[in-house]
Structure 1
Amino acid sequence: MALTFTLDPEIDPALRDGVLALWADVTNAGGAVGFLPPVTADDIRPEWLGRLTELSEGRTRLLVGHDEDGAVAATAFLAHNRHRLMKHWIWLYVVMVHPRHQGKGYGRDLLAAAEAAARTFEGVEAIRLTCRGGTGVDRFYASCGYKEVGRVPDAIRVAPGDDREEIVMLLPLH
């Protein structure tokens, strides 16, 4: 069964707890979403509070996918670029599908929903994202139409002596 996507959902306690649990579960399963395992929802809460501030200020929008049971199963944040010369593209980040739903095509569905949402942003011509090298997720994004446009060597330190590339990818919307 497909996920049901909502852009700019009402942030209530169920959504808050669902996003925190998803973020922790994805991280603990090895997902490269800003943290290293092991984490708890409490470890992620300060980052989530920062995202809530961005949402309330209109700088960022939240896309949420719910599964057939109504649980938060996928998310992505779409952020306006604040640089005056770069307002023609947006950032896509914290792209997550719950590990129990991976392999069902929901990642592609999430990226398609994010693309559709981005097309509603006035003047936006592209989506830009970054991902951690060494995870293989760049191949997934490429299969969804994103083009690699750069790499920053040793940009992400996951452990002493374990530095990874930051891979920059772009999806033109025209």
Structure 2
Amino acid sequence: MTLHYELDPAVTPALRDGICTLWADVSNAGGAVGFVPPVTAADIRPELRGHLAAMAEGRTRLITGLDAGGRPAATAFLTLNTHRLMRHWCWLYTVMVHPGRQGTGEGRRLMSAAADAARGMPGMRGIRLTCRGGTGVDRFYASCGYKEVGRVPDAIRVAEDDYRDDITMWLALHT
């Protein structure tokens, strides 16, 4: 069954806890979402608090894919750019699909929901994201219409002797 996507859902304790669990599950399955396994929901909670604070301030928007039980199984955060010369594009952060749903098309549906949400924001012309090299996720984003526009070699250190490129990608919303 496909997920039901919502923009800016009410942040209830159940949603907050569900996102923490999702984030830990994705991280522990090898997902490149800011942590290196092993992690717990408690490890994730401070980072999520930062996203939720930005939402409360109106700087960030949440796209959530909910399963039939109302639990988050996919999320992405759109963060508005506050620089006066760059307010025409936003950042896409923490793109996650539960490992059990990967390969089902939910990633594409999540990316489409994020692009639709950004298109609905006044004056928005593009989405920028960064991703960790060596994971193959840059190919997934490219298949969703994103173009690689920059790369910083060895900018991400995931282990003592494991450095990855930081890849910047761009999706033009209006042609």
* Shared fold, TM over 0.5: yes
Query: Residues 150-169 of structure 1: matches in 2 within 5 Å?
Result: 150-169=150-169
1:50 aligns with 2:50: yes
Which TM-score applies when normalising by structure 2?
0.98
Counterpart Cα distance in 1 of 2:72 and 2:102: 14
Instruction: Tell me which residue corresponds to 1:86.
Output: 86
SS at match of 1:52: helix
Partner of 2:96: 96
Aligned residues: 174
The correspondence of residues 1-174 of structure 1 with structure 2, limited to 5 A, is 1-174=1-174
User: Tell me, what secondary structure is at the counterpart of 2:104?
Assistant: coil
Gaps of 5+ in 1: none
Structure 1 Cα separation of the partners of residues 133 and 83 of structure 2: 26
SS of corresponding position for 2:157: strand
Find the residue that maps to 1:113 and give its secondary structure: helix
Alpha-carbon separation, structure 2, partners of 1:105 and 1:52? 27
4+ residue stretches of structure 1 with deviation over 4 A? none
Q: 1:80: Cα distance to partner?
A: 0.2
Task: Write the letter of the residue equivalent to 2:169.
Answer: M
Query: What RMSD over aligned residues (CA atoms) do the two structures have, in Å?
Result: 0.7
Q: Which amino acid aligns with 1:15?
A: L
Distance 1:35 1:82 in 2: 26
The percentage of counterpart residues that share the same residue type is 68
Amino acid at match of 2:104: K
1:12 deviation in Å? 0.5
CA distance in 2, matches of 1:73, 1:85: 35
The one-letter code of the counterpart of 1:170 is W
Q: CA deviation at 1:84?
A: 1.1
Deviations 1:30-84 (A, max 9, x none): 0000000000000011101111110000000111001123221000000001111
Q: Which amino acid aligns with 1:32?
A: A
**Which 5+ residue runs of structure 2 have no aligned equivalent?**
none
Q: CA deviation at 1:149?
A: 0.4
Q: TM-score, normalised by structure 1?
A: 0.98
1:2, distance to aligned residue in structure 2 (A): 1.5
